[in-house]
Amino acid sequence: MEKKVSKKKMRKSIRKKIVNPSIEVEYSSIDILTGSDLSKRKLPFMHIKSISSGPVIWLTACVHGDEVGGMVVIQEVFKKLKKEILKGEVYAFPLMNPIGFENYSRKITFSNEDLNRSFPGNENGSLAERIAYQIFTQIKDTNPSLVLDLHNDWRKSIPYVLLDPKPGKEEAYEKVKEFSKKIGFPVVLDTAEVEKTLTYSLLKEGIPALAIELGESDVVNEKDVEHAFNAIWGLLSELGIVKSSEEPSKVIISEKVKNKILAYSQQQVSLTSGVIRFLVKPGEIVNKGQPLARIYNPFGKLMETVRALEEGIVLGYADSSVAFPGSPVMAFGNI
């Protein structure tokens, strides 16, 4: 018979309480796996609570192990929250995929699974589903007002909010749309219904959840960290959890994409093979028909000019300059 482990026991606490009568802080971890060498793998867990009740917010990061910037953003937010939280509670899982992180891999390398295609998880399922289950139940049990899942996109990309297609729960989705506009990044609607992501699975349960792509992956980009910190701090201040900081530096986004919901696209893809040279930068607005990139053969002969199919903003370059027929060259938020 399987023993039922209580949630309280699931958390292996390294409790740390700050000596401040109005703020409670807990940094601890949850056991997720005992390795074959008997070493323990853990999920780092963070929680800050004010004695004044208020909204409950979750920040999650690094579900894809090579998307490292979000963890740093959470560290910065918590550093300031420890002194400045006014009401409510903020929870975080700063490193949801420690196994992928240590191998610079998107996936859980032990089982070659994408953790963000494994939600809401299963207590008795695969390794990824078991980890997803622990994350999902912990979040759900706190009945949060908002969950922000922090990702990083291609190596050369700008920050943007990625909105899931509506999974049926009207009320949570309306809230998410409202929050997404307050973040100050371009808002892009994902075209495919990516079921089994953390945000989509939470939305299905009626919990408002948003994915934010915080720019470049693999290596921490300090400018992206600053922009993400300001965006999240701004949102926390809107909710009354903290006071707003004066004049935060924000991403400057074109009026053409402000307050709009853009459509995600990777079209036009390349039709030939060769080396890609880019003609526009991430963040630029491009017009229909505008040349975006040129593809050359090894002798320098122009094989193809890739043009914009629609008016939109360039979200990022593909992770390599190698083109094959059908490979993506850039991603866009089409207006």
- Applying CB under 5 A, the residues found at the interface with Zn ion are 64, 67, 151
Using an 8 Å Cβ cutoff, are 60 and 232 in contact? no
Task: State the minimum distance, in angstroms, from the CB of residue 154 to Zn ion.
Answer: 11
Task: State the minimum distance, in angstroms, from the CB of residue 151 to Zn ion.
Answer: 3
Report which residue's Cβ sits closest to Zn ion: 151
Whichever of 11 and 151 has its CB closer to Zn ion, that residue is 151
Whichever of 49 and 64 has its CB closer to Zn ion, that residue is 64
Q: Which helix (H) or strand (E) holds 99?
A: helix 98-102
Whichever of 56 and 214 has its CB closer to Zn ion, that residue is 214
Task: State the minimum distance, in angstroms, from the CB of residue 64 to Zn ion.
Answer: 4
Whichever of 11 and 64 has its CB closer to Zn ion, that residue is 64
Whichever of 68 and 241 has its CB closer to Zn ion, that residue is 68
Q: What residues contact residue 275 under an 8 Å CB cut-off, 6+ apart?
A: 295, 296, 298, 321, 322, 323
Tokens coding 135: 């994350």
Where in 132-272 does DSSP place strands (E)?
Answer: 146-151, 159-163, 187-189, 209-214, 261-265
Q: Which residue has the tokens 């609570």?
A: 49
Tokens coding 306: 């890739």
Of the candidates 259, 157, 160, 263, the one whose C-alpha atom is nearest the C-alpha of residue 212 is 160
Task: State the minimum distance, in angstroms, from the CB of residue 123 to Zn ion.
Answer: 24
Using an 8 Å Cβ cutoff, are 212 and 162 in contact? yes
DSSP state of 244: P
Whichever of 34 and 112 has its CB closer to Zn ion, that residue is 112
